[in-house]
Structure 1
Amino acid sequence: MVEVAGVLPDGRLIPSSSIGNNKTWLDQADRIILEVNSWFSDGFEGMHDVYYGTRLPPHRVPIPLVGAGDRIGEPYLHCDLSKVVAVVETHQPDRNTAFAAPDAVSRAIAGHIIDFLQHEVVHGRLPARTLLPIQSGVGNVANAVLAGLNEGPFEGMSAYTEVLQDGMLAMLDKGTLAQASATALSLSQPVAERFNADAAAYRDRIVLRPQEISNHPELIRRLGTIAMNAMIEADIYGNVNSTHVMGSSIMNGIGGSGDFARNAYLSIFVTPSVAKDGAISCIVPFASHVDNTEHDVQIIVTEQGLADLRGLSPRQRAQCIIERCAHPDYRPALRDYVARAALHAPGQHTPHLLGEAFSWHTRYLREGHM
């Protein structure tokens, strides 16, 4: 079943607020049900860019995209109508969760990121004013970081991301963001209703693409994306857990964070330093689940500060993360863990006490506090 905003007389499909992998499903499916959602306004037509030029090796050619706002395909999906077994008419908006207003913690995180980006500009590693295309994960913290960027010194920026949320739309409204490329919208209900009514006004500034293009590793690398993604926890060596609470209970999927983290020009992960009113430290000795390894994580940010891990050895990373990102309540225990691990294995590259590595998590499960 594939949702579309409309069907043209010749069978071409007008995509809705999410393309995702719909192009692939339509190509590969034996039977198709089309859900035609009349809630979407006519302004959605022309916002999409569906590229049909991908080929399998040895016939593969470079994808001709060099800017976040480039349009390299067509605004419609193709469908073999002989495979369509039913058409369902609906009139329903997307069911998206509302975003919380930025709080002091998220504003502090945003401030650290803006200071860092300005530092990179001063040292010639980023272009002034417009930076490089930004990517943002979904969630309250990520949305708050975007709100901070919208109040920052940069303007005329671009976004090359997987999901466009409230914060990016506010940046487009203000002009902080000149154009945005994504594969889907994830807007709170009031913002979605406003966007739907004004979709035509955004059509030239927003491009919605298939996920195989929005998350394409070579394109992410080519554009020099600045990736900013939320996490559940990070360990002292920079491994990031994006998906599982206490290593077992899934909170969410990894989404596109892995695609962007491994290939971005800058790979940034953000989180508050503690959760559950301080009962959980988001900086731990060893991540209870690893989605993005230390090799793909360059920057870790909490409200406490920012750890730039580029070029650091594991022991240097541990010191940097503890002193700049961990909550003060947990720093002494983290320092103690590192010191004893180094004594226990003085010649090892990444010292760990395997008998204690997950003791913080087991203590929380047993006592309700790390």
Structure 2
Amino acid sequence: MSERIAHSGLKNKVMTADEAAQFVNHGDRVGFSGFTGAAYPKALPTAIANRAREAHERGDEYAIDLLTGASTAPDCDGVLAEADALRFRMPYQSDPEMRKKINSGAMQYADIHLSHSGRQATSGVFADIDVAVVEVTRIDEDGNLVPSSGVGNNVEFLDQAKKIIIEVNSWQSLDLEGMADIYRVQPKTPIPITDTGDRIGTTYIDIDTDKVVAVVETDSPDRNSAFTPPSETSEKIAGYFLDFLEGEVAAGRLSYDKFCMQSGVGNVPNAVMAGLLDSKFENIKAYTEVIQDGMLDLIDAGKMSVASATSFSLSPDAAELMNQKADHYRKYIITRPLQVSNHPEVIRRLDLISSNGMIEADIYGNINSTNVTGTRIMNGIGGSGDFTRNALVSTFISPSIAKDGDISAIVPFASHIDHTEHDAMVIITEQGVADLRGLSPRERAPKVISVAHPDYRPLLEEYFEKAQTGKHIHTPHTLSEAFSFHQRFLDTGSMQK
């Protein structure tokens, strides 16, 4: 670790994770690094969970409030939730154990736009941050931190925290140094990015080394979940998305050169990027949240010229490739603080096309991306709102059905609304493309119904026809039946029966 911890004073603060966990006390507000399964602390979560269990066995209280950049992993969010070590969590999570605790009411969860989370932390919304626990790939001679596979809200947490614990992970490639572009967003000050590839900051995070109470050495991989092979459904959705892009070119609204994209995480977005490999688009740019496998493929093929994000979200094979070739990929990839990667000002300026997933859409174009049947949280809104509201064109992509056809992604009225009809412009399923731009609510409804699964179209058409018999029909609804799909699902286990 001598080359990883080059600051003489911080070398003297190396200790075990169990020793470092003693600095994290009951009731503390703790800021963790981590974003979409990358760059999260690997050792401290288990040590904190063990401390919580020991306290509970003694009959003592022990729980902390946890702030992150986004989701982490089972060995972080999962172990803490399982040990009942969390009282509160924000801004995004995807862990099954944590989801159970949130939905049962055992812990509180604030689902926050990611672009808001760091600003709220620095403005005192969450009061003081007692401890920041941040993973890095290296500490340089001056005590500056070289980010590992993500940046997230690290800058804000490190600046605000009273105490800092650093995990130095030797699994992360030393060649990641130089990939990050660290810039502190200042209120009322424009962010000087006019092109995706602009670098405006430093390659490291400078900190107050006097606040560091512990340095912990680790050698553990990121979560790195494997992507499943593209299904027939995901390939159809990708095909329709590419057809939509071709239509934008034909209409003179898009060029084959320097198309700028944002993409959510998952198998369908990766299928879209696989389709771009064989497309006419060249010099593709990505201004997004995460670097995915498909982006590495586009870079390797010479199709993507630059990708800006806050973190990685790679499969195990792609993560191994990144560790082997980080010195190559840092010529094309920039990792930024979350406040920059998701900032509305920059997103609007770059005229990008966004693409995100959803749980359901209603016939007028309102999108639910967070709560099943309106009450049960899945993951959270993440950054989809940041990009949807500010993109040149916002798209939502999803299979038209789930649970073997028992759930329709198109419903009469969304049971929870994260993205209103004013922000969602295009909906794409394996059934086709619904371009809702410039249409009134009654003009949008047939378009949305057309991309529903054929098994559900008659039910949706029947609802829309009945809703138009009312007195006020700008946005026709029959409120007594607006949630009939959801009620059937709760009663019978299927929206269809």
> What interval of TM-score do these two structures reach, taking the shorter chain for normalisation?
over 0.9
Post-superposition Cα deviations, 1:158-211, rounded to whole Å, max 9, x if no partner, equal: 000011111111111112211100000010112101111110010110000000
Q: What letter matches 2:141 in structure 1?
A: P
Q: Which of 204, 207, 213 is 1:85 aligned to?
A: 213
Deviation at 1:108, TM superposition (A): 0.9
Post-superposition Cα deviations, 1:86-112, rounded to whole Å, max 9, x if no partner, equal: 001101110132111111111111111
Paired residues of 1:110 and 1:149 also in contact (CA < 8 A): no
Matched, 1:223 2:350: yes
Paired residues of 2:242 and 2:272 also in contact (CA < 8 A): no
Q: Which of 261, 275, 284 is 2:388 aligned to?
A: 261
Paired residues of 1:96 and 1:189 also in contact (CA < 8 A): yes
Instruction: Give the aligned partner of residue 305 of structure 2.
Output: 178
Q: Distance in 1 between matches of 2:225 and 2:479?
A: 39
Q: What letter matches 1:328 in structure 2?
A: P
Deviation at 1:150, TM superposition (A): 2.2
Paired residues of 1:227 and 1:264 also in contact (CA < 8 A): yes
Q: What letter matches 1:333 in structure 2?
A: L
Stretch moving more, 23-32 or 151-160: 151-160
Instruction: Give the aligned partner of residue 140 of structure 2.
Output: 8
Paired residues of 1:273 and 1:304 also in contact (CA < 8 A): yes
Q: How does 1:168-317 map to 2 (within 5 A)?
A: 168-317=295-444
Instruction: Give the aligned partner of residue 368 of structure 1.
Output: 493
Paired residues of 1:33 and 1:86 also in contact (CA < 8 A): yes
Q: What letter matches 1:260 in structure 2?
A: F
What is the percent sequence identity of the aligned residues?
A: 58
Q: What letter matches 2:202 in structure 1?
A: E
Q: Distance in 2 between matches of 1:318 and 1:140?
A: 28
- Structure 2: runs of 5+ lacking an equivalent: 1-132
Paired residues in the alignment total 363
Q: What letter matches 1:107 in structure 2?
A: E
Q: Distance in 1 between matches of 2:369 and 2:212?
A: 38
Instruction: Give the aligned partner of residue 458 of structure 2.
Output: 332
Q: Distance in 2 between matches of 1:104 and 1:314?
A: 31
Instruction: Give the aligned partner of residue 125 of structure 1.
Output: 253
Q: What letter matches 1:91 in structure 2?
A: D
Matched, 1:18 2:150: yes
Q: What letter matches 1:354 in structure 2?
A: L
Deviation at 1:151, TM superposition (A): 2.5
- 1:269 is paired with a residue whose SS is strand
Post-superposition Cα deviations, 1:197-255, rounded to whole Å, max 9, x if no partner, equal: 11001011000000000000010000001100011110100011111222222221111
- 1:89 is paired with a residue whose SS is strand
Q: Which of 171, 175, 198 is 1:39 aligned to?
A: 171
Q: Distance in 1 between matches of 2:225 and 2:175?
A: 23
Deviation at 1:128, TM superposition (A): 2.4
- 2:305 is paired with a residue whose SS is strand
Paired residues of 1:5 and 1:37 also in contact (CA < 8 A): yes
Question: TM-score, normalising length from structure 1?
Answer: 0.96
Paired residues of 1:110 and 1:144 also in contact (CA < 8 A): yes
Instruction: Give the aligned partner of residue 204 of structure 2.
Output: 76
Instruction: Give the aligned partner of residue 265 of structure 2.
Output: 138
Paired residues of 2:388 and 2:423 also in contact (CA < 8 A): yes
Deviation at 1:61, TM superposition (A): 2.8
Q: Distance in 2 between matches of 1:55 and 1:321?
A: 41
Instruction: Give the aligned partner of residue 95 of structure 1.
Output: 223
Post-superposition Cα deviations, 1:5-62, rounded to whole Å, max 9, x if no partner, equal: 110010111001010000100111111100111111121000000013x323xxx332
Q: What letter matches 2:170 in structure 1?
A: S
- 1:333 is paired with a residue whose SS is helix
Q: What letter matches 2:339 in structure 1?
A: E
Q: Distance in 1 between matches of 2:138 and 2:445?
A: 53
Paired residues of 1:18 and 1:208 also in contact (CA < 8 A): yes
Matched, 1:355 2:465: no
Paired residues of 2:488 and 2:494 also in contact (CA < 8 A): yes
- 1:294 is paired with a residue whose SS is coil
Question: TM-score, normalising length from structure 2?
Answer: 0.72
- 1:99 is paired with a residue whose SS is coil
Q: Distance in 2 between matches of 1:288 and 1:164?
A: 31
Post-superposition Cα deviations, 1:305-343, rounded to whole Å, max 9, x if no partner, equal: 0011000000111011112x1111111110000000000
Q: Which of 251, 257, 278 is 1:151 aligned to?
A: 278
Paired residues of 1:39 and 1:92 also in contact (CA < 8 A): yes
Paired residues of 1:147 and 1:167 also in contact (CA < 8 A): yes
Matched, 1:55 2:186: yes
Q: Distance in 2 between matches of 1:283 and 1:364?
A: 14
CA RMSD after TM alignment: 1.1
Paired residues of 1:162 and 1:184 also in contact (CA < 8 A): yes
